[in-house]
Structure 1
Amino acid sequence: MKKTLIVAAIAASFATAASAQSSVTLYGLVDAGFTFVNNVQAPESADHYKNSSWSMSGGNVNMSRWGLRGVEDLGGGLKTVFTLESGFDVANGGSLGGTGFGRQAYVGLSTNAGTVTLGHQTDSVTDYLGPLSASGSWGGTYFAHPGNLDNLNGDLFRENNSVKFQSANYAGLTFSGLYAFSNAAGGFAANRAYSLGAGYANGGLKLGAAYMQANLQNYAATYGSAITGVTVDVPNLGTSQIAEFGIDRHRTFGAGGSYSIGALTFGALWTQTREDNFASNVGSNIINNYEVNGRYALTPALSLGAAYTFTNAKFTESGSSDSTRVRFHQFGVQTDYALSKRTDIYAEGVVQIASGLPEGVMPNAGISGAPGGASSSSRQVLLTTGIRHRF
């Protein structure tokens, strides 16, 4: 009898150890609230008649998502890792991105030196510069730079067919590289993407720098390419078709840093996005963004945040030395109150002012992600409040 009990206890211990070697976690975030925009162009109006917009909206700070992540310990420091993440619109229950796992889908191996993953993933600009910006951290969707072309929050696009290496942490230093295949026969370099990035953290100091390039050249609508199906509207610069017969080359690079002192965190960063042969060889864009931001925790539950971005955009017509310049000033403030470790309520306000263009021509403001789209004037104000829950 004693032997039977001993064997049973040993078997149970082995079963427990085996189950501890692998795990799968279900996680997610749901963000919903109400948004007011003071000025939106009427879609049916040729003269862009002014309208205000009241809406129940989702993803005001973070896009709602759910996902599965898992790890299996293979022994000797080697692990299998995977993530499957799907975005959805909580306002109507619809899927975002048009695919089952449009936010992330990858599998790979992790060692003490770093992790190699294959699939649909974020690039180094999103990974290293995003957390230093308001949009990629606490501010979220509406704090994105005009047009969100630098993609700091990762909501504009992610790379398909990608192989990514993320290093381990070496005394605060980390680095990564990504290469996304075109998957096109005879077009290896025609619609690919790649990126490099590095970061350093020590105490309250965080630094980051990154570069990303996509060579598109009209393959995106035909093949399962590196970046697909992304179209954004940049006021005054027209419709920017990043991956559908619009831009031959899309590049973003930048650097930034942040510093925390007690309850205060402040930061600054710069990004530049260049788009060559924009809109079927009509011209090229150069967009510089300069951002400063700060956040202060009044109590463990209540925080205040603010950010300012100056954007200087230049559009040059193909074959011409003349260029059109548009400038944007964007101010954003946020207050957030944590009801628990997983649930918080928030309120935000964003103001954008556009200037530039030839005399007599009005530049249009357009807060990124604003319900209804761009303003009919050079100013736009957005107010939003809502609730966010993580699980």
Structure 2
Amino acid sequence: MKKAVWAPGAAAVLCALSTGASAQSSVTLSGRIDAGFAYMNNVQTSPGVTASRFGMQSGDWGTGMLNFTGTEDLGGGVKTIFFLSRSLKATTGTAGTVHRKSWVGLSQENYGTIKFGRDLFISNGVSAFDPFLQEMFSSASLVRGRTWQQTNSNVGYLSPSWHGFDLAAQYSFGGKPGNWNGTDTGSYGRSDGLQLTYRTGLFDVRAIYDELRDPNGQFSNVFTASREFILAANLRLGSFLVQGAATRMFAPDTPTGLASTANHYWLGVGYQANPFLLVTLAAYHVDVGQGAGNDTHDAHGHATMYELGTTYNLSKRTFLYANVGYVHNSSNATFSLEPNNPGLNNSNLDNPLPGHSQVGAYLGINHSF
């Protein structure tokens, strides 16, 4: 299944962390390469003019990446750890524009892990409850990518498990002179969040509260700089995995008259037909609250996205994938299958025209090392 297939790359990272106690220090190289073909209709070629698109793409199932993980045993069960990650584009053979992670920290089995540096924002915690694991078409699509961002100058903490519970916390410093909440060094100002998870053999439940501010330190756009509440759950029933979530977002500093709230829901099921084949079906829905839109803000409206996908394991490290999706927009909505920017004129040619639907598909191969 998808989580098992992705695991080899992650397993190499965890292996480095877990073996650090028996070796004085170690550095591990790991990563992922992803490439395939994609189709999408109702893509704008210029403002107001649409056409279909077909071609090769990198990272539709998951961003290609190159990772370096290090650990050093300090004694007494304490370890120094670091992680460096850079995105890769297989179709061009170049490094991507995203420096995914760059952090250093300390870990102790009984007290947890603390990290300092650039990291995935805490809202990425929804990926473990998303039937499509935040692929290109996924829970990130109808929230304009809000849940898969990275933030700078983080201090993050992850607790050990205690009777099934674990806690994560994250605080991202702004550092702008004269503006505690703003920043001069990134896309987001001071941001923070808490995550509480309860796990059993039958189900998992996760609650997240986070605050993602714009560079000026404000909650100015419901999909790019807002407060967010998430409640998500997984239910394991034999060969089936049922996953769902409800999200509430609100941006109190949004200019007067523009929409400042949104609700996002999803429900999906994965069926592990055999050790090689996983089939997943999911539906996602977003409601944008009352208010107008402009070039960079979405107006009141709603959209529903349906997705069917499958993965087939060729080995423990390599799998094939194929997904098809459809999004239906209300009269004012411009949501895409992809997590594009909000608004009508915000580098958004991949968004359909207001009220138009969109159909897309992608297939490819993914290898972890």
Give the shorter-chain TM-score range.
Answer: 0.7 to 0.9
CA offsets per residue over residues 247-285 of structure 1, 9 Å max, x none?
xx521221010111221100110112223444x666342
CA offsets per residue over residues 338-390 of structure 1, 9 Å max, x none?
00000000110010000144xxxxx4341124896112451100011100000
Does residue 1:74 correspond to 2:74, yes or no?
yes
1:72–1:80 contact (8 Å) kept in structure 2: yes
Distance 2:63 2:287 in 1: 27
Q: Name the counterpart of 2:128.
A: 131
Deviation of the 1:58 alpha carbon: 0.7
Q: Name the counterpart of 2:350.
A: 373
1:332–1:351 contact (8 Å) kept in structure 2: yes
Distance 1:124 1:317 in 2: 29
Distance 1:50 1:182 in 2: 40
Distance 1:273 1:302 in 2: 35
Q: Name the counterpart of 1:364.
A: 334
Q: Name the counterpart of 2:52.
A: 52
Distance 1:269 1:325 in 2: 22
2:222–2:262 contact (8 Å) kept in structure 1: no
Distance 2:100 2:72 in 1: 22
Distance 1:390 1:122 in 2: 20
Does residue 1:312 correspond to 2:287, yes or no?
yes
Deviation of the 1:241 alpha carbon: 8.6
Does residue 1:181 correspond to 2:161, yes or no?
no
Alpha carbons of 1:180 and 1:95: their partners in 2 closer, same or farther (altered >3 Å)? same
Does residue 1:202 correspond to 2:200, yes or no?
yes
1:146–1:311 contact (8 Å) kept in structure 2: no
Deviation of the 1:162 alpha carbon: 0.7
Distance 1:324 1:339 in 2: 44
CA offsets per residue over residues 153-194 of structure 1, 9 Å max, x none?
x2xx21100101110111211111111111222222333111
Q: Name the counterpart of 1:38.
A: 41
Q: For 1:204, give the aligned amino acid.
A: L
2:131–2:270 contact (8 Å) kept in structure 1: no
Deviation of the 1:290 alpha carbon: 0.9
Q: Name the counterpart of 1:62.
A: 62
Does residue 1:168 correspond to 2:160, yes or no?
yes
Which stretch shifts more, 82-91 or 282-291?
A: 282-291
Deviation of the 1:104 alpha carbon: 0.5
CA offsets per residue over residues 186-211 of structure 1, 9 Å max, x none?
22233311111110111021110101
Q: Name the counterpart of 2:343.
A: none
2:181–2:217 contact (8 Å) kept in structure 1: no
1:304–1:334 contact (8 Å) kept in structure 2: yes
Distance 1:327 1:252 in 2: 18
1:149–1:273 contact (8 Å) kept in structure 2: no
2:139–2:284 contact (8 Å) kept in structure 1: no
CA offsets per residue over residues 87-144 of structure 1, 9 Å max, x none?
122222333335xxx10110011112111110001233212x2211124x2x612123
Which stretch shifts more, 377-386 or 88-97?
A: 88-97
Distance 2:115 2:267 in 1: 33
Q: Name the counterpart of 1:26.
A: 29
Q: Name the counterpart of 1:329.
A: 304
Q: For 1:96, give the aligned amino acid.
A: G
Distance 2:37 2:43 in 1: 16
The aligned length equals: 331
Q: For 1:305, give the aligned amino acid.
A: T
1:249-328 map, 5 Å: 249-278=225-254, 283-316=258-291, 324-328=299-303
Deviation of the 1:317 alpha carbon: 5.0
Kindly name which structure, 1 or 2, has the bigger radius of gyration based on alpha carbons. Answer: 1
1:134–1:140 contact (8 Å) kept in structure 2: no
Alpha carbons of 1:167 and 1:150: their partners in 2 closer, same or farther (altered >3 Å)? farther
2:175–2:181 contact (8 Å) kept in structure 1: no
Report SS of the residue matched to 1:125.
helix
- TM-score, normalised by the number of residues in structure 2: 0.82
Alpha carbons of 1:324 and 1:283: their partners in 2 closer, same or farther (altered >3 Å)? closer
Does residue 1:142 correspond to 2:120, yes or no?
no
Report SS of the residue matched to 1:126.
helix
Distance 1:216 1:143 in 2: 24
Which stretch shifts more, 19-28 or 31-40?
A: 19-28
Query: RMSD in angstroms over aligned alpha carbons?
Result: 2.7
Q: Name the counterpart of 1:9.
A: none
Q: Where does the alignment leave 5 or more consecutive residues of structure 1 unmatched?
A: 1-16, 221-226, 228-238, 243-248, 358-362
Task: Give the share of equivalent positions with the same residue, in percent.
Answer: 25
Q: 1:216 aligns with which of 211, 214, 217?
A: 214
Distance 2:205 2:339 in 1: 27
